[in-house]
Amino acid sequence: MTAVQVLVAVIYCLLAAGIVFGYAAIKPILKKEGAYQDMCSSAAASRALSPVSSGYELFLEATTHEMNTCIEIHLNFMFTCAAVATNVWALPLGTLLDRYGPRFCGVLGSFFLAIGAVLMAYARKLPFDGFLVGYVTLALGGPSVFISSFQLSNAFPRKSGLVLALLTGAFDASSALFLGYRLIYDVTDGRFGHHKFFLSYLSVPVFVFAMQFLLLPAQSYKTVGQLVETVEEAEAAINSDRSPYDDQIDEQTALLREERQAHQESIIADVEQVLGSTNVQAKAEKEERKNEASGVWGAMHGATAGEQVRSLWFVLICLFTVIQMTRINYFVATVRPQYEAILGSHEKAIQINNFFDIALPLGGLLSIPFIGVFLDHTSTPAVLATLVTTATCIGVLGVLPYMWAAYANVTLFVLYRPFYYTTVSDYTAKVFGFETFGTVYGTIICLSGLFNFSQSGLDFLFHKTFHGNPMPVNIMLLSTGALLGVALVSYVGWQARNMKRKMLEREAEAAFRRQ
């Protein structure tokens, strides 16, 4: 049954978890379908040159350019708001999950998905910005069904990493949904428009809602730690029942005690079957070796959340995450217009955009299994150095006006994206600990998400200030990210060396005292 639950969760995460990040694929369709056309046409005409003084052809050209720029900015703002909502919503969603359980969050997610689909379908007929509100609502639904599925990994403690990899891979691959729709749209010559697509998409939230009550658990599965505690409590109960005066109790009491002990032993047997082994010491030693390899494990454990967020450990990773998340989402939103300018060709930009649409979901699927192994066997300073180096290479490739550089940039980007997200959560767990993980990690993601509103300012610089030239914005993001990255790696490396020196000093003192 649990295997079927995981399969169902992977399916609906594939259809819903991160679909808004397939924006680059659906953006051309929304343009063709007339998104924001009514809003931008009147504004463009009022800002264009006068036809009397400059001639009708010049007026028409100016009007068309202004309208296209207006539509581009509105659509990008729609995606920016959705990306912000995805990150900010993760903070209150964690509280709802802890308080009400995964079924509540799954049902909530299905309602968000349904409302978002309806708003997107009828966006042009609504008296408000239906595209913006609908896309943001879809963005709220995705994390709700995705995060509520994490607890399924506890059903397979020996293969929890595989379950999480499947769910994370499904999240990354879900961006391909809009790519699949775009292929259908092109094959049908636009007859299967966005109105029909989003009405058809309503079947997904119905499926998610039904599975919450027909198959999936109402409450989260217990973690390995909770299962071990169950074993220890059962063993303690058995031991407490034993008495040197057992031969003096009556037959009925003895039978009741035997039944209770049999029940407690069955609990132990069930947990042992799930865990594969109750050799807690061996598991603890293995986990300790993995933690020591990081070099920074426990750096801020035991400190309050307030003390942690005021430390340089937090400030530097937060600033670096803010810049990197902005870079990632800005690139997703502007990949085609950027390469139209960089390569000087609309056709080449479409080729890169099409390659990006396919590579984005594949990147997560291919890289997730290797990322976990790399993080478990590599020191945190080395991981961060790899992350910063990769981000810098992406920035350099992103300003080179060659097709090979464009393909290399996209390839590296789609592999870097899941690596970056996983590294931030891994760093937070190792440095700050799990007692404050939700608060600290949620704050990092929330602040980074809010800063994503700066994409609108970057869009204005790109289209207006620099007249469609993406180079200045890309160089600004590259240099800022590189400086913050070097500062982060330097600080963490310095602290790791100090921690190692102190540990060696303590071991030497302990050895001296034993002599």
Residues 43-75: b if buried by 16+ CB within 10 A, e if exposed: ebeeebeeeeeeeeeebeebbeebbebbbbbbb
Host domain of residue 40: 1-220
Residues 313 and 187 in one domain: no
Give the number of other CB atoms < 10 A from CB of residue 506: 10
Interatomic CA distance for residues 146 and 168, integer angstroms: 9
Asked if residue 157 lies in contact with residue 275, where contact means CB atoms within 8 angstroms, the answer is yes
Q: Which residues of the chain have pLDDT under 70?
A: 1, 42-63, 98, 150-165, 217-293, 434, 437-438, 507, 510-512, 514-515
Number of compact structural domains in the chain: 3
In a domain, 286, yes or no: no
Residues 36 and 89 in one domain: yes
| Nearest residue to 67 (alpha-carbon basis) of 90, 86, 44, 46 | 44
What's the confidence (pLDDT) of residue 397? 93
In a domain, 452, yes or no: yes
What's the confidence (pLDDT) of residue 224? 45
What's the confidence (pLDDT) of residue 293? 65
pLDDT digits (tens, 9 = 90+) for 101-114: 788 888 999 999 99
In a domain, 287, yes or no: no
What's the confidence (pLDDT) of residue 223? 46
What's the confidence (pLDDT) of residue 239? 55
Residues 73 and 149 in one domain: yes
Asked if residue 455 lies in contact with residue 256, where contact means CB atoms within 8 angstroms, the answer is no
What's the confidence (pLDDT) of residue 367? 78
In a domain, 486, yes or no: yes
What's the confidence (pLDDT) of residue 240? 55
Asked if residue 363 lies in contact with residue 415, where contact means CB atoms within 8 angstroms, the answer is yes
In a domain, 359, yes or no: yes
Q: Tell me, rounded to whole angstroms, the distance of Cα 90 from its chain centroid.
A: 10
Residues 420 and 467 in one domain: yes
In a domain, 283, yes or no: no
Residues 70 and 35 in one domain: yes
What's the confidence (pLDDT) of residue 288? 58
- Vertex 329: Cα angle to 327 and 332 (nearest 5): 105
Residues 22 and 114 in one domain: yes
What's the confidence (pLDDT) of residue 10? 84
Residues 261 and 162 in one domain: no
What's the confidence (pLDDT) of residue 50? 47
Phi-psi region of 192 (alpha: psi -120 to 50; beta: other; left: phi over 0): beta
Residues 143 and 186 in one domain: yes
List Cα–Cα distances, 224 to 3, 76, 133, 286, 515, in angstroms: 18, 43, 40, 14, 39
Give backbone dihedrals phi and psi of 186, rounded to 5 degrees, phi first: -70, -40
For position 365, which CATH number holds? 1.20.1250.20
Asked if residue 130 lies in contact with residue 124, where contact means CB atoms within 8 angstroms, the answer is yes
Residues 214 and 305 in one domain: no
Residues 270 and 336 in one domain: no
| Nearest residue to 414 (alpha-carbon basis) of 357, 452, 457, 454 | 357
In a domain, 288, yes or no: no
Give backbone dihedrals phi and psi of 34, rounded to 5 degrees, phi first: 90, 20
What's the confidence (pLDDT) of residue 18? 86
In a domain, 269, yes or no: yes
Residues 428 and 496 in one domain: yes
Residues 360 and 459 in one domain: yes
